[in-house]
Amino acid sequence: MNTCIKVVFILLFCTSPLFGKNKIDGVWHASFTVMGQAMLLDLTVKSGGKEVAISNPEMEVAPQIPGGNVVFKKNKLSFNVAFIGLEFKGTFFPKGDSIVGVMNQSGITWDVKFFRTIQKKNKVNRPQTPKEPFPYETQEVSFQNPKDNVQIFGTFTYPINKNSNYPIVFLASGSGPQDRNCTILGHQSFLLIADQFARAGIATFRFDDRGAGESKANFSLAALSDFVSDLTTSINYFAQDEQLKGHPFGLLGHSEGGMHIMEAYKQTKEQIDFLVFMAACGVSGKDVLVQQQYEMPLAEGLNEEIALWNKTLFQGLSERVLAESDLVKCAFNIEAFLKEMYAKAPKGAISEAMNEETFVANNAAFLNNQWGRQFLAFNPTEYLKTIEVPLIALFGSKDIQVNPIINSEAFRSALSSSQLKRAQITVLPQLNHLFQQCNTCNFKEYGDLEETMSPLVFEQLIPFILKQ
């Protein structure tokens, strides 16, 4: 599951050169990599350091984002952008013609160096990203979900030997708007899975989430049930292809995608021959979220007080959302709760650049919607005990988003003795939520790691699928 952190990647604006009579005035250019994302950023300074604005030079035409609380004194420059919780503190070097400092957002910090000259974008190394030529076939596919007329766009990847009865695996991604490749911080895990599976004789279908990739649908209006509907529609579409009759069908879900494949398995009338769970929830969505919001601050090096405050925050949000189905009434309850939590926040729990209004605005609507209610209330136990096909469930021992011990044990507890004979439940050592071999194993490291997915994953999945 992907955590909803509003990182600096939303700076989608540009600027043009501007120079004033003061030494620091003008447009400054920076190139940096944060959480594996290479970025360019421009900083415009006016009125001798009294006004600043940030912008993205990669956009063609857009207004600048003004900075607040600007202080420039004795060559020290600081400012913030409150609505995204961004802070900058740095030093102006007149002789070196640079501004060097540190940016901070949502507890994530990175070094930034601004120069007068245009900067080139950094290159991020992703050695596992598949490269041509490919020893398999790909086909772009599009069809309509008849439930609400949403168009689904995806890629069918299959072995060159069309006459073989190869298995077909449908991929379901985790939380957040993911394209068909499941692109996260420069990694494309579903593209890698499709590549590795096809090389082993396994076909896959991966598709864009609503509002991502080629999809024209509105992600913010989509419920968990809509993602399930798109998955079942995909299964039905391929099942109607006469050339694919008799091919084994399997479902693979990562994180929240595990919920999608549980519900799709229950709903579809087509035969599903096996299920693959990767970092999937074995306990309710609410329990996973609350535990996650306790573990993540600790993994970032924050103290127990902050972790407990964060746990209480999401516990309270979840309880209020589940207790009140009326969106307006729930919003009123949530706003009061968030103001209370803001006042109680221990030092370091909230960015200094984020005021109460911004804190409330950033958190009020996260769960108070149809998706949030369905996610929080989802109970995997009710689904797991009905599964009648072989399944494999993999977890990373260092996963701080879906606790591997709690959720793997929940899988084992939910399955009967006869089901367990057809199940393979494994916790892989030293792997994080994205199944990367990790070092610090916190959220910040996802993009810094060059590995997209550990080979250990494919050593487990490919033999399991091929024997079904």
SS3 letters across the chain: CCCCCCCHHHCCCCCCCCCCCCCCCEEEEEEEEECCEEEEEEEEEECCCCEEEEECCCCCCCCCEECEEEEEECCEEEEEEHHHCEEEEEEEECCCCEEEEEEEECCEEEEEEEECCCCCCCCCCCCCCCCCCCCEEEEEEEEEECCCCEEEEEEEEEECCCCCCCCEEEEECCCCCCCCCCEECCEEHHHHHHHHHHHCCCEEEEECCCCCCCCCCCHHHCCHHHHHHHHHHHHHHHHCCHHHCCCCEEEEEECCHHHHHHHHHHHCCCCCCEEEEECCCCCCHHHHHHHHHHHHHHHCCCCHHHHHHHHHHHHHHHHHHHHCCCHHHHHHHHHHHHHHHHHHCCCCCCCCCCCHHHHHHHHHCCCCCHHHHHHHHCCHHHHHCCCCCCEEEEEECCCCCCCHHHHHHHHHHHCCHHHHCCEEEEEECCECCCCCECCCCCCCHHHHCCCCCCHHHHHHHHHHHHCC
Instruction: Say yes or no: 391 and 264 in one domain.
Output: yes
pLDDT given at position 105: 86
Instruction: Indicate if 144 and 252 belong to the same structural domain.
Output: yes
> Rounded CA gap, 160 and 435, in Å?
28
The number of residues making up the chain comes to 468
Q: Which domain holds residue 445?
A: 136-284+378-466
- Do 257 and 159 have their domain in common? yes
Structure tokens at 405: 């011990």
Domain membership flag for residue 49: yes
pLDDT, residue 340, reads 96
Q: Is there a single domain that holds both residue 275 and residue 157?
A: yes
Measured between alpha carbons, how far is 253 from 175 in angstroms, rounded to an integer? 11
HSE at residue 106, side-chain half, CA atoms within 13 A, is: 19
On the 0-12 / 13-18 / 19+ scale of CB atoms within 10 A, 77 is buried
Cα–Cα distances in angstroms (integers) from residue 121 to residues 31, 32, 127, 446, in the given order? 6, 7, 18, 20
Please give the structure tokens belonging to residue 46: 């006016």
pLDDT of residue 124: 86
pTM of the model: 0.85
Please indicate, yes or no, if residue 211 is contained in any of the structural domains: yes
Which residues in the chain land under pLDDT 50?
1-21
Same domain for 161 and 295? no
Number of domains in the chain: 3
CA distance 14 to 315: 39
The reply to whether 229 falls in a domain is yes
Domain membership flag for residue 3: no
Q: Are 391 and 421 in a shared domain?
A: yes
Same domain, 268 and 405: yes
Whole-number pLDDT of residue 6? 39
For residues 187 and 263, membership in a common domain is answered with yes
Residue 129: inside a domain: no
- Residues 246-299: tens digit of each pLDDT: 999 999 999 999 999 999 999 999 999 999 999 999 999 999 999 999 999 999
Last residue of a domain, one of 373, 397, 425: 373
Looking at the fold, whether 318 and 174 belong to one and the same domain comes out as no
Structure tokens at 178: 């993911």
- Report d(CA 177, CA 9) in Å as an integer: 15
Q: What is the pLDDT of residue 5?
A: 39
Q: What is the pLDDT of residue 62?
A: 61
Q: Confirm whether 73 is domain-assigned.
A: yes
| Position 127 in a domain | no
Distances, alpha carbon 46 to alpha carbons 11, 28, 90, in Å: 20, 11, 16
The CA distance from 454 to 459, in Å, is 9
